[in-house]
């Protein structure tokens, strides 16, 4: 269904004096998100000691977070800077597709990371044999395939609808509510896919952590318990924040409040991931220090060579 009229996105505030503050705040969070996740990618790729399943999936999560942020924030910043909330129908569908794609990927990768921690803590003797490079690549590929199918099916359902009003922040359920045509099939598909994409991974995460907690409880020493649990603390914190943010957005009563909460969560969550993993992960910090330390040493050597003649 082709629409010639533009859609409109609700802003955070209509007050002109607040626009520079909003622009500066979201630009800062955007730059921190991209820079922080790029640092994690640099640390994992440059240090051979981090070429393990856990850091492989962490690098994937950082890449997805960068893509996820770039899907929404640049358009948001452009709208604030130009004082225009117009978006074309084609851009609206495209942005919604990638928004759903990277949201699903975030969810699946966090689930795979929970499975990785489950094997490492509950089956340490078989961990290396099970989590081999082939399985890691397969799990990442399946996550991509599932996310692509989910976002494609959701976007395809929206394309069948006719809209006679304007749009909010690009959310699938909000767009369906604005449709003039019958949405029964869309509602059915939306709820089914929500259970499949959100409920399935959540059940997998809860199952993994129930086994992890049970296994840690059987460790006799307090130091051993702390060491085992510390390996999954960062992941557990990220998962908790993600689902708390999702529930907060879902239970927002007003449409405008839900729209703004979705926009805020889409910026804050990818920003928190590198902060949490960098602060709590000694290996990441050491890898970054080695990377920047080697860069500074190489720079010093080059300067000295130039001075020698």
Residuewise pLDDT in 10s, the chain (309 residues) = 445 445 555 555 556 677 788 788 888 888 988 998 998 898 888 888 888 999 999 999 999 999 988 888 888 888 777 776 667 777 777 888 898 899 889 999 999 999 999 999 999 889 989 999 999 999 999 999 999 988 888 888 777 765 555 544 445 555 555 555 556 666 677 777 777 777 888 899 999 999 999 999 888 888 888 888 888 888 888 888 888 777 766 665 444 444 555 666 667 778 888 878 776 677 787 777 877 765 544 444 444 544 545
Answer for the pair 66, 37: CB distance below 8 angstroms, yes or no: yes
Element (H, E) at 271: helix 255-280
Cα dist from 60 to 57, 110, 137, whole Å: 5, 10, 11
Rounded Cα distance between 290 and 140, Å, is 28
For the chain, the C-alpha Rg in angstroms (whole number) is 22
3-state secondary structure of 132: coil
Q: pLDDT value at position 256?
A: 46
Residue 106, number of CB atoms within 10 A of its CB: 24
Q: pLDDT value at position 187?
A: 67
Strand ranges (E), the chain: 7-8, 86-87
Rounded Cα distance between 11 and 80, Å, is 8
DSSP 8-state secondary structure symbol assigned to residue 169:
S
Cα 257–chain centre separation: 21
Rounded Cα distance between 21 and 73, Å, is 15
Q: pLDDT value at position 156?
A: 82
The pTM assigned to this predicted structure is 0.80
Of 71, 88, 75, 102, nearest to 11 (Cα)?
75
Rounded Cα distance between 294 and 273, Å, is 26
Contacts of 136 (CB under 8 A, 6+ apart): 53, 56, 57
In the chain, what are the domains? 7-279 (1.20.1070.10)
The DSSP string of 189-245 is: HHHHHHIIIIIHHHHHHHHHHHHHHHHHHT-SSHHHHHHHHHTTHHHHHHHHHHHHH
Cα 91–chain centre separation: 21
């Amino acid at each position: 269904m082709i629409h010639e009229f533009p859609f409109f996105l609700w802003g955070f505030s209509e007050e002109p004096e607040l626009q520079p503050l909003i622009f500066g705040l979201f630009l800062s969070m955007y730059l921190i998100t991209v820079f922080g996740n790029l640092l994690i990618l640099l640390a994992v790729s440059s240090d051979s000691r981090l070429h393990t399943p856990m850091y492989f999936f962490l690098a994937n999560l950082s890449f997805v977070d960068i893509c996820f942020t770039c899907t929404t924030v640049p358009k948001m910043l452009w709208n604030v800077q130009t004082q225009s909330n117009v978006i074309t129908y084609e851009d609206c569908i495209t942005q919604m597709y990638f928004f759903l794609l990277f949201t699903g990927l975030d969810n699946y990768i966090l689930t795979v990371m929970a499975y990785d921690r489950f094997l490492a803590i509950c089956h340490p003797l078989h961990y290396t044999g099970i989590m081999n490079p082939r399985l890691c690549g397969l799990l990442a590929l399946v996550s991509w395939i599932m996310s692509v199918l989910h976002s494609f099916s959701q976007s395809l359902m929206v394309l069948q609808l006719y809209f006679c009003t304007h749009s909010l922040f690009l959310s699938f359920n909000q767009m369906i509510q604005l449709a003039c045509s019958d949405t029964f099939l869309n509602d059915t598909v939306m709820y089914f896919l929500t259970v499949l994409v959100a409920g399935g991974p959540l059940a997998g995460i809860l199952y993994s952590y129930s086994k992890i907690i049970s296994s840690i409880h059987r460790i006799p020493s307090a130091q051993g318990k702390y060491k085992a649990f510390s390996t999954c603390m960062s992941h557990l914190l990220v998962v908790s924040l993600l689902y708390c943010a999702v529930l907060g957005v879902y239970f927002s009563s007003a449409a405008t409040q839900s729209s703004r909460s979705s926009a805020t969560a889409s910026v804050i969550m990818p920003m928190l991931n590198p902060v949490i993993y960098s602060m709590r992960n000694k290996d990441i910090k050491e890898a970054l220090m080695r990377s920047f330390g080697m860069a500074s040493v190489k720079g010093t050597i080059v300067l000295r060579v130039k001075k020698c003649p």
